[in-house]
Amino acid sequence: MTDDPVIQALLGALTAEPDNHAVRAHVARLLLDAGRPDEALDQATTVLAAVPDHVDALRVASAAARAVGDDAKAVSYGRLADALSPPPASAPPAPIRASAVPDTADEILQQWADEEAVTEPPVGPTGVTLADIGGLAEVKKRLELSFLAPLRNPELSLRFGKSLRGGLLLWGPPGCGKTLIARALAGELGANFYEIGLNDVLDMWIGSSERNLHAIFDTARRNRPCVLFFDEMDALGQKRSNLRGGGSSLRGVVNQMLAELDGASTNNEGVFVLAASNHPWDIDTALLRPGRFDRSVLVLPPDAEAREAILRFHLRGRPTERLDLGKIAKATDGMSGADLALICEQATENALDETMASGRHSPITQRHLQEAARSVRPSIGEWMETARNYALYGNDAGAYDELAAYLKKRRR
């Protein structure tokens, strides 16, 4: 499938923006699905060289390595991906469409007539609340004001004219809990939750991506209250001024998103739309105007309290001696939640190796955690360098004031 227009469009976008790891990981997945595992492995390992804890890239790398016959690498990539994010329940593979690209409108209509209707996405409560997240007091406060308080007090909201709808952008460095926060918000609301990735929307057929997006919003409106969570919004809602040539097919997705958020024929009351982005500066400005993603919350690396809570969560159920997690939390300043998960995984592997070597049970000790903390490098350094430039030189409208304040505080 060398002429797949979606792959070609995304590769063109990567030429202009080689550091967009979300798009590169999605390209790797598309290449793997297209029967091109060598190319998929190249793209996935490029992502992992910059973001070692990128779960999607790890899973693609594992599948691609197995497809090319490198079982050792496949097992290694898969084990790390499972440690960072346990795999979901197995699902049947999606049907593979014919590789021919339609040339006329009649061919498109005929293919749509022959294929099954868009499957209604699974929605349901998450069972996670904000109480399950350590730290992040400012983020929780903003969420309370933006979403939770209006829904809990509908009469008061009606009196003040506060609509039970809204769009909120969670942005910040990768691996810091944006997805978990979105799930917790849905749990607090008692709302259905649907997490949407690039693969849920983008399609190689002309017009199908827009249709997929419309179907997602229709499902949310039928299951109110519902939280729609769009991950990697900078890839899905790229600035249309940058979508030329191969990337022009994505312009329709941005236009459809605008129509779904506040179109004249839409009623999104009770539909709460959240999005996450590591690169908010790449999102089309029309998506950030009032009535769309008009509120934003910066999700920074976890503070000491949150780091300790994250470590405790990932060590739960594992054999440990008495640990001073507060000391480990102090030594891991600037690390993301994904980095902390990796520390726990490496400490567990070291304890397991000692157990197998000695033949005696060896629990996870303070030493194991300290050694693992020294060996894991923070994964958000590259993001911080890029974000610092925007905070210092691209903040004329004040969009990055929170980030500038955080960077100034860290320099003290």
Could you tell me if 364 and 393 lie in one domain?
no
- pLDDT at 340 exceeding the cut of 90: yes
The answer as to whether 114 is a domain residue is no
Q: What is the pLDDT of residue 306?
A: 87
The answer as to whether 159 is a domain residue is yes
Instruction: Identify whether 225 is preceded by a cis peptide bond (ω within 30 of 0).
Output: yes
DSSP state of 281: G
Could you tell me if 329 and 250 lie in one domain?
no
CATH code assigned at 269: 3.40.50.300
Q: What is the pLDDT of residue 327?
A: 95
Could you tell me if 138 and 202 lie in one domain?
yes
Tell which phi-psi region holds residue 135, choosing left (phi > 0), alpha (psi between -120 and 50) or beta. left
Distance in angstroms (rounded) separating the CA atoms of residues 164 and 166:
7
**Residue 303 corresponds to which tokens in the numbers above?**
């503070």
> Chain centroid to CA 224: how far?
23
| DSSP string for residues in 187-243 | HHHT-EEEEE-HHHH--SSTTHHHHHHHHHHHHHHHT-SEEEEESSHHHHTB-GGG-
Q: What is the pLDDT of residue 294?
A: 79
Domain that holds residue 355: 304-375
User: What's the average model confidence in pLDDT over 43-67?
Assistant: 85
Q: What is the pLDDT of residue 249?
A: 64
- pLDDT at 376 exceeding the cut of 60: yes
Could you tell me if 262 and 343 lie in one domain?
no
The answer as to whether 312 is a domain residue is yes
The answer as to whether 208 is a domain residue is yes
Of 16-20, 48-52, 77-81, 397-401, highest mean pLDDT: 397-401
Residue whose structure tokens are 């849920």: 200
Number of structural domains (the chain) is 4
- pLDDT at 72 exceeding the cut of 80: no
Quick: pLDDT tens for 248-295.
Answer: 567 888 888 888 887 666 788 878 888 999 999 989 888 888 778 878
The answer as to whether 94 is a domain residue is no
Could you tell me if 355 and 370 lie in one domain?
yes
